[in-house]
Amino acid sequence: MEPIVVSLIKTGDLIWNEGSPIDLTDLTECSVYLLREIRNLLIVPLVRIVVVVCLVMTVLILVEKLFVGAVALAVKIWRLKPERRYKWQPIAPDEEEGSAAYPMVLVQIPMYNEREVYKLSIGAACGLKWPSDRVIIQVLDDSTDPEVKSLVDLECQKWKSEGVNIRYEVRGNRKGYKAGALKEGMKHEYVQECEYIAMFDADFQPESNFLLRTIPFLMHNPEIALVQARWKFVNADECLMTRLQEMSLDYHFKIEQEAGSSCFAFFGFNGTAGVWRIKAITDAGGWKDRTTVEDMDLAVRAGLRGWKFVYIGDLKVKSELPSTFKAFRYQQHRWSCGPANLFKKMAVEIIQSKVSIWKKLHILYDFFFVGKIVAHTLTFIYYCVLIPVSVFFPEVEIPLWGVAYVPTIITLCKSVGTPSSFHLVILWILFENVMSLHRTKAALTGLLDAGRVNEWVVTEKLGEAQKTKPATTREADLTKNLLVDTHEQTNPCILKPKKQQTRFWHRFYYSELSVGTFMLLCGCYDVVYAKEGYFIYLFLQGLAFLVTGFGCMGTHLPDS
């Protein structure tokens, strides 16, 4: 039988006069009834709608993973290497032509305060097998630390004294960040002699035959704009976090890049370890700094102009993974926010382009919508919010196929990139779900064009910082003298902050701790009341958030 107050509310006969006594019991019953009605009429239907949307997006991701996986498998089985799909012949100069048979190549190395790794990239670039009179090494140093600038300049002078055609270029500001540096680097007169540009970030170390493997694709196929190599990680075994990063990036290169190259001759340029045709860069409008993913921006514009891209999976370039969680978070913010922001700014341009409908569909739907938006937001909303919340709504059912079968298939599809790490797949999924919190925030920031949308924090690299010996007295003296000579000429854009002692709680990440606590509470509720069977997952995922939130992932540096 309904409470009397509820009946009066329904009939509209409840009248309260000022000064009349209020029965607290009746008000409590009335409040409970109203809350129950709000729950049944508003919240439950809303949760059901979110469930349907998440299930649909899960199926979209499944189809995409099966498709790219099938393409990569076909390429592997039938050995459809790029050398078979495109014309490729090694450069074989005769005695008359000599080095003139080799096209002029510019090797760009942008860097910013790369104290620990600058020698690696410069040394590797200077060691490339290519006639010395047909290659120019261009070091684009945006460093704000005068000591680092002097060290990089000293390294360039050393290689120049050995006969390498190397140019050390600096500018007075960091406008446009990496895109601005690359754009400025192309304005020098000596670049006009070059046909192609090879690009390497400061921690990348190409093998000596890199140009010999990549340039012939561009020479013999005028429709090709970009040749991309695969990344190989020198510190993958440094800690658990780097092992998990390797699994994600191996899938990206071995499966996603391979499929994009084989089916559509299009994929996102990775910003390094690639060779561009300068004519294609110019035709696409050059470098633009409107987002933090200038590499993807250029690739999309070049793809819309009809240029083709080639990915060489068996050509690997050594690089370094971020080994501190703080550096990894900053990197993932840029990698998630930038593509979402670019999608917002280029959607209309893509639709109005003159490429085939299939390529438009691939770029808009597969590359951007599913790959850069849905994949990031679904993981957090579905697995870290909706499933935990569902334990409070027993009338909302999530089908078993949407909770177990489809996610398992997606996981297996993504884990094939690194078979040697398959035993870490559970930890990998838990960590990927943790990172989905930041990827979702970043993607929404990019779509809304707000907050940290243009934030650019250079990924911290450690190189061999903790293994190398101190510099020799001679090198230290040379550096000191060089610092004195260049001190007045160097005007850093940002003053180097003094290191401050940090408290232990400054290492905590409170957003992770909050989500982890929420998931543990949901797990406890499931055990005691709901009995949906989600508690095992909720406890594991909640602990993963807490472990990460307490700063236990990655390596830790002194005074960090």
Task: Tell me which residues are annotated as active site.
Answer: 142, 295
Torsion sign (Cα): 275, 280, 286, 292: negative
User: Which residues 6+ apart lie within 8 Å of 14 measured at CB?
Assistant: 5, 8
CA neighbor of 107 nearest in space, from 153, 149, 150, 140: 140
Report the alpha-carbon distance of residue 64 to residue 374 in Å, rounded.
11
d(CA 200, CA 275): 9
Among candidates 507, 512, 508, which has minimal Cα distance to 541?
Answer: 512
Q: Do 143 and 114 contact (CB within 8 A), yes or no?
A: yes
Say if residues 286 and 186 touch (Cβ distance below 8 Å).
Answer: yes
Q: What is the Cα–Cα distance from 342 to 3, expressed in whole angstroms? A: 57
Report the run of H or E that residue 166 belongs to, with start and end. strand 166-170
Pairwise CA distance, residues 534 & 314, whole Å: 42
Q: DSSP assignment of 30-51, as one string?
A: HHHHHHHHHIIIIIHHHHHHHH
Q: Give the separation between CA 492 and CA 238, rounded to whole angstroms.
A: 33
Q: In a 3-state reduction of DSSP, which class is residue 275?
A: strand
Task: Return the CA Rg of the chain.
Answer: 28
**Angle (CA) 436 180 338, round 5°:** 15
What are the residues whose beta carbons fall under 8 Å from the beta carbon of 530, sequence distance 6 or more? 391, 392, 394
Q: How many C-beta neighbours within 10 Å does residue 450 have?
A: 10
